[in-house]
Structure 1
Amino acid sequence: MSGPGTGRISAAGGSTIELSVIVPAYNEEQRLGPTLDAITRYLGEPEGRWGEWEVVVADDGSTDATREIVAARRDPRIQLVTSPRNRGKGHALRLGVAASRGRRVLLTDADLAAPIEELEKLDKALSEGNAAAAGSRSVPGATIGDHQHRLRELLGRAGNLLIRWVAVPGIRDTQCGFKLFDGDKARAAFAGSRLNGWGIDVEVLQHFRRADWPVAEVPVTWSHQSGSKLRPLDYARVLGELGRLKARALRPADAFVAILFLLMATALYSGRFFDPSHRYLPDSLQDQNQWEWFFAVTADSVAHLRNPLFTDLQGFPDGVNLMANTVMLGLSVPFAPITLLFGPAIALSLCMTLGLAATAAAWYWLIVKRVVRQRAAAFLGASLAAFAPPMVSHANAHPNFVILFMIPLIIDRALRLCAGTRVVRDAVILGLMAAYQVFLGEEPLLLASIGMLLFAVAYGVLRRDVAKAAWRPLLRGLLIAAAVCLPIICYPLAWQFAGPQSYQSVLHGDNAGNSPLALLSFSERSLIAGDAERANALSLNPTEQNAFYGWPLALLAFAIVVRLWERAVVKALAFTALAAAVLSLGPKIRIPLTDTVLPGPWALLSDKPLFESVIEGRVAMVCAPALGMLLALAVERLAAIRRLGTVYAGLLAVSLALLPLIPAPLKSTARPDVPAFITDGMWKSYVRDGESLVPVPLPDPGNAEALHWQTAAHLGFKLPGGYFNGPYGDDRIGIYGASPRYTSNLLRDIRYSGKVPTIGKNWQAQAARDFAFWKAGVLVLAPQPNDTLLRQALEKLVGRPGKWTGGVWVWDLHEGS
């Protein structure tokens, strides 16, 4: 007898076995005899349509007379394979298929719920080029005779729907036991199966999907038979089996990589991670206060069922359009219980650490799936994508640019659309993913879209055959994804762009692009090459060091591209990285060490909607995953080289390029204590309902410690001023902080200049108007630089001295009213 994979298999007489029928059986003495009679009678019809055939009964450890019924048959074409004990339908099918010899293999249950005559329909589907044909009760054209009990039928449908969604999308009826397979492919799929229960049907169909063997779902006639072994709750068991199968499929290396990414993220945040309530990241400037407030206000909105898109707790009385700020509702809402139980500092610290590790793991998953198979190469590539210098810079202050785990998933789903196999399903999932990413960060999604577009254009030019085959399903999928995404986000976006306290755009000046030198220099946080003075001279601030990949990595990337130039994916990745780097230079590119200024390509986008608010230097962040994938490709190629000298030289070059990029833990300092006036609740006797507490000077992007006061007081009072994006003037231009008023400007100028202007009746009258606008109940002055001068100014503005209490100076504005 020939083995699997040889095509046609011969019987003892030398003829070819055209069809093997596999019948799994467990305690089937009542039904098996009539079933075998029906099968042999049909296959033995005079026309001889099915040629040479065999029937294999796979007994699953029956305790009745099932085996004796088969043994009593004198037909050599009917054979019996047995299991010493009952192990499940999956085990029986595996035994039966392994014993089969046919060019095609039919699986049918012992109850013949689908009549054997339906084989003709399945055979026709295989003749049309499919590798398998699954009989179905759920597609148009199917006929159902005797129904199950209504409740049983509903439970079965619900279970089948879950299986389809989780495991085998596209096949409506996975559990119908009537299936015809190409024989060799069936033997390969069942030999590779692991499940012993009902889940083997799904496992084998998954195998066919992964191998790109087409599967047709064919409508059949089906009738419920009494004594069925499949119960509605068995669908839950199928899901459990599939879950365990996936868990076993997880490679130890993958689990180790995930743990390693978590340790790397924890090490980066170690200065704050272990005591976030009392430690502060000074390089976050005031962003840590702002983000903790975002988490706190979201949790408060969830707990009290308030609108999470708006609040007047900050920027009082006008309020803050939260959707127009980066509150990351996609995470701050799920983290609301942690925020309420343990405080916003712990919630933010945990979220950023886990989010960074999850982002690295997502890039690793994408690189393993789409770029390289070697795990070590994928680990290095993902580490660069997630822990590159720009990401570490933003890790100080901007969770929305650190927690990017959805971006690799979105890229993968877009690539699936290009394949055109399951366009509708993949498009729906892509639409849901994009909608969720909007609530994680719109600007990162925009930058990722730029990167994907650059890659798609380059790859499409290089591989016109691929582009020709992919553009139609991709376009169709993108339209479906948009139709799914837009209804979800249209109301939040309408609130963002037209709701209360919305604004037109945030202007960042004309110097927000990177210097060419920044792309080749080392970042401030480099463990071995950090130069804070040079890095800050080449960037907007420590949170916006958006390049700093270093010249060794640039040289290595150039060498990789030259060495692997024959690969289209390498050329496309190189174009993506180079184009993103050039775009990040901004609308005007100043040539280093000269006065020459050239127009940059970003000028074409800088005044367009959405792009006008982007800090163009951030486009260089697109380079991180592109360079990471190039690195992964190079390391995988090195692993395949036999010449040790070449391997050592290549690994040395990789090490020299990556060592300067290893980040030191983020700097942390002791956090200023919140005054007892706040923590002990003394403020409550000064602030009435509808009033605000006014810190002096008012909180702004330069000093937002009052937001920490507010979160420490569980958002018990409202604040004028603040740190957020809001409108200014009749044109509603976006600015950082609340629209300034005369008194807020006066107090801020005294704080930073140390000079007190002459304060007369005009200033006093203006202050009274501003206090009334803010509905101020109390002014609070904490110890700070120039606090003596501020106290003198307040005494003149209010007309009386303040009171020292709870570690602060206070002016009760109700006195004398």
Structure 2
Amino acid sequence: MSQEREPTKTPAPPEVPDLSVVVPAYNEQHRLAPTLDALTDYLSADEARWGSWEVVVSDDGSTDATGDLVTARQDPRIQLVTGPRNRGKGHALRLGVAASRGRRVLVTDADLATPIEELEQLDKALGEGNCAAIGSRSVPGATIGARQHRVRELLGRAGNVLIRRTALPGIHDTQCGFKLFDGDRAREAYAASRVNGWGIDVEVLRHLRRAGLTVAEVPVRWSHRPGSKVGPADYARSLTELVRIAARSLRPADVFAALLFLLMSVALYSGRFFAPAHRYLPDSMRDQNQWEWFFAVTADNVAHFRNPLFTDLQGFPDGVNLMANTVMLGLSVPLTPLTLAAGPAVTLSLVMTLGLAATAAAWYWLIVKYVVRGRIAAFLGASLAAFAPPMVSHAHAHPNFVVLFMIPLIIDRALRLCTGTRVVRDGVVLGLMAAYQVFLGEEPLLLAALGMLLFAAAYAVVRRDAARDSWRPLLRGILIGASVCLPIVVYPLVWQFAGPQSYTDIEHNPRSFNSPLALLSFAERSWLAGDAETANALAFNTTEQNAFYGWPLVLLAFAIVVRLWARPQVKALAFTAVAAAFLSLGRELRIPLTGVTLPGPWKLLADRPLFEAVIESRVAMICAPALGMLLAVAVDRLLTARPLGTRWVGLLGVGLALLPLVPAPLRAVDRIDVPAFIADGTWTSYVREGESLVPVPLPDPGDAEALHWQTEAGLAFRLPGGYFNGPYGDERVGIYGAEPRFTSNLLRDVRNSGDVPPVNDSWREQARADLAYWRAGVLVLAPQPNAGALRETVEKLVGGPGRWVDGVWVWDLHQRGPA
């Protein structure tokens, strides 16, 4: 008879505790015992509140008795997990959380700097539907007892700022070691982590955020405990980990977009980019020489510890008020080492190429953050904002209108102020940003402020509820920003408007307005539709084609507005674009093909302070980002449209509207060689200390090649005349170039006409006075159109022939004075 065996009993699964407490530990034998006592006493005292619990001590390869201290307790609710060697807090937390089983997981440091009683506040936040609740020392309501060493505290704050800017915007204190999680979410997040150091806190919280889960930041009591394991090297390691985390967080589409923007910019400048010192953009007219000189003179002033707001190297002896000119001190000063090492041509080329790409990337970032999440739509919108026809026009010669990456950042900061969350901080940052933009370009900042005002006015009308909630914090933040900005810029602005060689106003070209036809036509550099004759008839030069969006884009924008009119954002953007285009029509509105003239909208602003110096046609540049954002909204909608026929027809329309706006690379030609007389230093035998070298004719906005001579000579000699903005007459009205004198006007007229005037004794006397005023050491005539007439005129003025020296005609004024 067989013996009946009893069935084998399957052991019951261990009870899932309500709470797991994970404590990472490394050589903590002196601090861990009081911590375990505090944890077990608190949790045992109110088991009805906390239910079942466990404590998991994760020993990160301790070399002291940390592990023995845990096992000696012989409490089944306290377990030890160990690593074979010390690998860092992140690795210890990963082991400990993986070994936990609780429905909730509390992570706390071994020093219990945050008392266990603060668990009550975190558990309340978890009960409100959050996935995690983190103890914070940096939000209102938090209290700090004993503080860390001042250096460690500053390093910690700097780390938190870096984290908020790169990895976890909105969370103020990721590193406080007291956090409560939903158990399953915690095990999933820590299992997905990769870093072994202190950066794991950021990595885990980012994982939860990217999964769409909410994280609450709860104020807690915190007090520094002696015996910290954080050493100086740990800060460097944490920084490395944060960089790795931030790099992993970048979406490939964002990186690809930035690279495409860079490639687009290099392609635009391809004619000059690869040989900047030997290539010239002829459509910049004389502006490339001027801007290279601006970078060179700023570097020279900085290198020699001179005032960067003034120089007498041009316009000698009166000099040039550099702050009253667009020298972009915000870049020309910090790029001084590059300019001194590689030359101003290289600096200017890099500034314009990289600056245009950075501007596009900044618009892309702003569009993704506030307008659409779709990367393709954002890319197209940012491309239009940064590479629109007026931007390409200014790309020939005006880096102050190309390097606009601060404008989207300023807009972002203003939008943050509207939320009213951190008004003081955002106001201070806005003030610093505005101050920096002043040193990049004041006119673009003014136009950006005008565009923001137009948008805000329109948005306030269509969203009165939002306006009521945001105007107070916005106004308060702007006032704070102004209080920060003004002390920084007040001295440079006083120098600009009241310093040496300052001016009151500047007369622009009388055609400095947009015709309505200019808004509908195509720019000269349009690859497929460019028409130089039409563009030049509608703009006063190639660098000021400030509209030229083309009728297909205007029709597309109209269709977008009609189709998406219900969106308040679309209404505000449409108003901004239309209002800016209307203002750009100038003081008088000329109805095309009719000869009828009406009062123009710009007349309301033209004579107001600040606006009086603005070229009104440039106001149409505000349309570029507004149209770019409208385009982004439309494309984002089309990419998800149903049926497919609607999608493809819509995208075809977008492509047909944008295709004529694709710019051709900017024209570039070989640069005119600097005469050997200058390049070889022969001039040094003719110009003494305190004297100037006088080109024939004097440099002016029509011919500024002598500025290139000067930069090639290392700014070692001074020039009368020049190409800059300066005062004229007793009223100090602004003009382009130095204040004209009899001899400079005479030589300019001969250059332009080729006619030799009848020089008499009175003219010779006036020439003698002018040369003395300029402290002229030598007159230099390089080969050029009408050089023969210029040579004959100079011979009559000075009373004798010049000498041919190293490729130029030279009149040494030390050997003979004017006859």
Q: How does 1:707-746 map to 2 (within 5 A)?
A: 707-746=707-746
Counterpart residue type for residue 526 of structure 2: S
Q: 1:293 to 1:553 in 2, by over 3 A?
A: same
Q: How does 1:606-617 map to 2 (within 5 A)?
A: 606-617=606-617
TM-fit CA distance, 1:427? 2.0
Counterpart residue type for residue 492 of structure 2: P
1:156 is aligned to 2:152:
yes
> Which residue number corresponds to residue 588 of structure 2?
588
Distance in structure 1 (CA, Å) of the matches to 2:415 and 2:69: 53
Paired residues of 1:586 and 1:616 also in contact (CA < 8 A)? yes
1:167 is aligned to 2:166:
no
Q: 1:50 to 1:229 in 2, by over 3 A?
A: farther
Distance in structure 1 (CA, Å) of the matches to 2:21 and 2:189: 16
TM-fit CA distance, 1:142? 4.7
Paired residues of 1:525 and 1:664 also in contact (CA < 8 A)? yes
Q: 1:39 to 1:344 in 2, by over 3 A?
A: same
Q: 1:646 to 1:117 in 2, by over 3 A?
A: closer
What do residues 39-62 of structure 1 show as CA deviations (whole Å, max 9, x unaligned)?
1112222x5573314233152554
Distance in structure 2 (CA, Å) of the matches to 1:24 and 1:531: 71
Deviates more, 1:58-67 or 1:435-444: 58-67
TM-fit CA distance, 1:417? 1.6
TM-fit CA distance, 1:627? 1.0
Distance in structure 1 (CA, Å) of the matches to 2:452 and 2:654: 26
Distance in structure 2 (CA, Å) of the matches to 1:353 and 1:138: 42
> Which residue number corresponds to residue 673 of structure 1?
673
1:132 is aligned to 2:133:
yes
> Which residue number corresponds to residue 514 of structure 1?
514
Q: How does 1:403-802 map to 2 (within 5 A)?
A: 403-508=403-508, 510-802=510-802
Counterpart residue type for residue 314 of structure 2: Q
1:322 is aligned to 2:314:
no
Unaligned 5+ segments in structure 2 are 1-11
What do residues 681-723 of structure 1 show as CA deviations (whole Å, max 9, x unaligned)?
1111111111111111111101111111111111111111100
Q: 1:104 to 1:121 in 2, by over 3 A?
A: same
Distance in structure 1 (CA, Å) of the matches to 2:570 and 2:188: 35
What do residues 722-766 of structure 1 show as CA deviations (whole Å, max 9, x unaligned)?
000000111111100011111111111111122233211111111
What's the secondary structure of 1:233's corresponding residue? helix
Counterpart residue type for residue 36 of structure 2: L
Paired residues of 2:60 and 2:89 also in contact (CA < 8 A)? no
TM-fit CA distance, 1:679? 1.0
Paired residues of 1:54 and 1:78 also in contact (CA < 8 A)? no
Paired residues of 2:16 and 2:103 also in contact (CA < 8 A)? no
Distance in structure 1 (CA, Å) of the matches to 2:225 and 2:51: 29
Q: Sequence identity of aligned pairs in percent?
A: 71
Q: How does 1:156-195 map to 2 (within 5 A)?
A: 156-168=152-164, 175-180=175-180, 194-195=194-195
TM-fit CA distance, 1:83? 6.2
Q: 1:279 to 1:436 in 2, by over 3 A?
A: same
What do residues 586-641 of structure 1 show as CA deviations (whole Å, max 9, x unaligned)?
12111111111122221111101110110010111111111111111111112112
Counterpart residue type for residue 598 of structure 1: L
Unaligned 5+ segments in structure 1 are 1-10
Paired residues of 2:505 and 2:733 also in contact (CA < 8 A)? yes
Paired residues of 1:506 and 1:735 also in contact (CA < 8 A)? yes
1:336 is aligned to 2:332:
no
Paired residues of 1:743 and 1:766 also in contact (CA < 8 A)? yes
> Which residue number corresponds to residue 58 of structure 2?
59
Paired residues of 1:137 and 1:144 also in contact (CA < 8 A)? no
Counterpart residue type for residue 222 of structure 2: V
Per the normalisation by structure 1, the TM-score is 0.91
What's the secondary structure of 2:49's corresponding residue? coil
Deviates more, 1:131-140 or 1:624-633: 131-140
> Which residue number corresponds to residue 219 of structure 2?
217
> Which residue number corresponds to residue 8 of structure 1?
none
Paired residues of 2:59 and 2:66 also in contact (CA < 8 A)? no
Counterpart residue type for residue 221 of structure 2: P
Paired residues of 1:60 and 1:84 also in contact (CA < 8 A)? no
What's the secondary structure of 2:777's corresponding residue? strand
Counterpart residue type for residue 135 of structure 2: A
Q: 1:257 to 1:121 in 2, by over 3 A?
A: closer
Paired residues of 1:394 and 1:402 also in contact (CA < 8 A)? yes
C-alpha RMSD of matched pairs (Å): 3.0
What's the secondary structure of 1:727's corresponding residue? strand
TM-fit CA distance, 1:449? 1.0
Q: 1:143 to 1:618 in 2, by over 3 A?
A: closer
Counterpart residue type for residue 167 of structure 1: I
> Which residue number corresponds to residue 49 of structure 2?
50
Distance in structure 1 (CA, Å) of the matches to 2:331 and 2:136: 43
> Which residue number corresponds to residue 8 of structure 2?
none
Distance in structure 1 (CA, Å) of the matches to 2:155 and 2:126: 28
Distance in structure 1 (CA, Å) of the matches to 2:128 and 2:424: 24
Q: 1:754 to 1:575 in 2, by over 3 A?
A: same
What's the secondary structure of 1:307's corresponding residue? coil
Distance in structure 1 (CA, Å) of the matches to 2:221 and 2:259: 47
What's the secondary structure of 2:560's corresponding residue? helix
Q: 1:646 to 1:142 in 2, by over 3 A?
A: closer
Paired residues of 2:293 and 2:344 also in contact (CA < 8 A)? yes
Distance in structure 2 (CA, Å) of the matches to 1:710 and 1:704: 10
What's the secondary structure of 1:735's corresponding residue? strand
Paired residues of 1:312 and 1:320 also in contact (CA < 8 A)? yes
Counterpart residue type for residue 132 of structure 1: A
Q: How does 1:18-29 map to 2 (within 5 A)?
A: 19-26=19-26, 28=28
What's the secondary structure of 1:810's corresponding residue? strand
TM-fit CA distance, 1:510? 4.8
> Which residue number corresponds to residue 7 of structure 2?
none
Distance in structure 2 (CA, Å) of the matches to 1:31 and 1:768: 91
Q: 1:424 to 1:649 in 2, by over 3 A?
A: same
Q: How does 1:343-358 map to 2 (within 5 A)?
A: 343-358=343-358
What's the secondary structure of 2:218's corresponding residue? strand
Q: How does 1:100-139 map to 2 (within 5 A)?
A: 105-117=105-117, 119=119, 132=133, 134=135, 136=137
Paired residues of 1:504 and 1:734 also in contact (CA < 8 A)? yes
Paired residues of 1:125 and 1:133 also in contact (CA < 8 A)? no
> Which residue number corresponds to residue 261 of structure 1?
261
**Length, aligned pairs only:** 798
Per the normalisation by structure 2, the TM-score is 0.91
Deviates more, 1:210-219 or 1:497-506: 210-219
What do residues 526-550 of structure 1 show as CA deviations (whole Å, max 9, x unaligned)?
1111100000000011110001111
Distance in structure 2 (CA, Å) of the matches to 1:797 and 1:510: 35
Paired residues of 1:697 and 1:744 also in contact (CA < 8 A)? yes
What's the secondary structure of 1:744's corresponding residue? helix
Q: 1:364 to 1:716 in 2, by over 3 A?
A: same
Distance in structure 1 (CA, Å) of the matches to 2:248 and 2:495: 46
Paired residues of 1:586 and 1:617 also in contact (CA < 8 A)? yes
What's the secondary structure of 1:693's corresponding residue? strand
Distance in structure 2 (CA, Å) of the matches to 1:221 and 1:779: 77
